[in-house]
Structure 1
Amino acid sequence: MTADDGDGDVDVGVIGVGAMGRNHARVYAELSGAHLVGIADADAERASEVAGEIGTTSHATGTLLDRADAVSIAVPTEYHADLAGECIDAGVHVLVEKPFVASLSEGRDLIERAEAADVLLQVGHIERFNPAVTELTRIVEGVSPISVDARRLGPPSDDARSLDENVVHDLMIHDLDIVRSLVSGEIARINALRTDDGQHANAQLRFDDGTIATLTASRVTQQKVRDLTITAEECYIELDYLTQTIEIHRQSRPEYMEIGGNIRYHHEGITERPMVQSGEPLRYELESFVESVAEHAAPRITGEDGLRAVELAGAVLERAKATEESRTDAPRVVRSDR
């Protein structure tokens, strides 16, 4: 079914070599334990160009699947289900970039088929592999969150693939997935708004344990921002995805001190900066995928994880649309000139 290069490496390929797929191919070519056997793209000229840059070969999808043990799929979401299904039918393990699928029924079908075929199915939620998020997950285990705020903002993009996705599925879905992984409760309520052009959206989630999450995603903000904060009973935590840093702010216990014969009230703020071993999240993600394939172990981000993120993103969009419709139907308010 697959080629064996004789050194025990996992033979890998990439289907779709736009901006994200090129990076998958680059990392695979450098990754210990992986052997990049080729790439495929609907644009044969682009595939040949990228293959030349990276030092591999370009193929038709079917030929690539004959050579590979595992592949990454980095094409527009509308093609995910068909291509992932083709991989599963060929017995090839697959990592599908986010959003996992265009519809919930497609996702359920792929999960069932992968399980029946004993094929590993991972979804590319790359921020789960950000070293700062890995450290944050450990920190959150010891605190009691009250609220979570996430911002994923940036200026207009020239990436045609990104613009094909709405801002919730393209950007906010990262933070929806992260928040779901950090908060143990189930979502009880969703409120959402978006601008008329759909390029800026805000969502509020209330969990059944009382935690509140506020998420904002934008393609029209003139500064790139990727951050997440947690207000907890014990502390306030700030995470910056871009710099891969975390700060934990705590208040010391208040006390009265004698200074120069006078009694003074003293309450000191303490800032902790945990050590984060920085690195490229995509490299960690693909290392994890290759390791799962080599050991035939469950991937860290499963098809079920990807499907839950798609379902939640869809619920946010539906709530935003319902809000828009209610605004349209609402009686017009006429201001008085007085």
Structure 2
Amino acid sequence: MPELSDGPETGLVHVRMPTYKRPELLRRALTSLQQQTWDNWVCDIYDDDPDAAGGEVVRELADPRIHYTQNKPQKYASANINACFSLSNPRDADYFCVLEDDNYMLPAFMAENIAVIHDHKVNLVLRNQITEFNSHVEVPTLSTEGVLDHLFKEGLYTPEMFRLSLIMGIGVSNGGLFWTRHTKSPIEITCTCTAVLQEYIRTFILTEPIYVAMKPLAVWMENEAATTRNGGDKAAYMQRELNLKRAIQTLQRATWKATPAEVRHQFLAHPAFTTPPQARERGLIKARLGGLLPKTVSVRDAVELTLRGSLIRFGGKTDADFEALVKNQGL
């Protein structure tokens, strides 16, 4: 049984918030903190903007629980986000989460995650989120489904079973992760990678049980078009995409190799996941893990997926420090 922090009525939550040149969104995210039903929290903002636009927002809010740091030198998006997942505890807090500036929490986010921790005696919670679309308009659209709805069921997952979500999806979503001071899993990534790949790697390196809570209590903004990952010329963009997919494929293959044979045999219909069998098999085939004859996918689709998987395998590249991380995980 894991050690637990203070009881459900007490305990300090440390929120880490990376930001960059989005003062109005930062204000919204901070306002969502101030609206939490759990008021024992502290927030550290790490601003990567050389012009320190976030500092003005913090001064205007004048909330003593909010602390501002301008990064000098700049860390850039991936490193700024990753540092927020450090297991260090300078605030002597009991619970932790990361809130990126373009996302926000619903009022019960902290309180209900803390209740899950104590009710189920875990140190890690993955909370479902809804998605915000069309964020550029005055009244954005919110999804009716959570980002985890087509992947997980409510409940406790061993790290081995949780890792299998990589075959179908991303597993950990940064904005949904909530942990305690007793967490041992290394959720800060030790290799150089994009912010997107970080979430896949966090799924892969968890070493302790995680509770997946399906009630959506946070909002994730879909803003992929604005990410630096999509900048530059088309050829460079395509190579970055291939490299990302090659790294994901490497994680998938390492996970599958370490999965016991009896679980692999049940995988297409395993009750731990909500993903339809066909989507599960498509993930396996694209990762170059499918059988000789597909069970739920047409032969034509299987051939196409196999070719796409081969393009990723031979066209994408991974860095030596990423390969070392996978090897050192010891699955």
The structure with the largest strand share of the pair is: 1
TM-score normalised over the length of structure 2: 0.31
TM-score normalised over the length of structure 1: 0.31
Bigger Cα Rg: 1
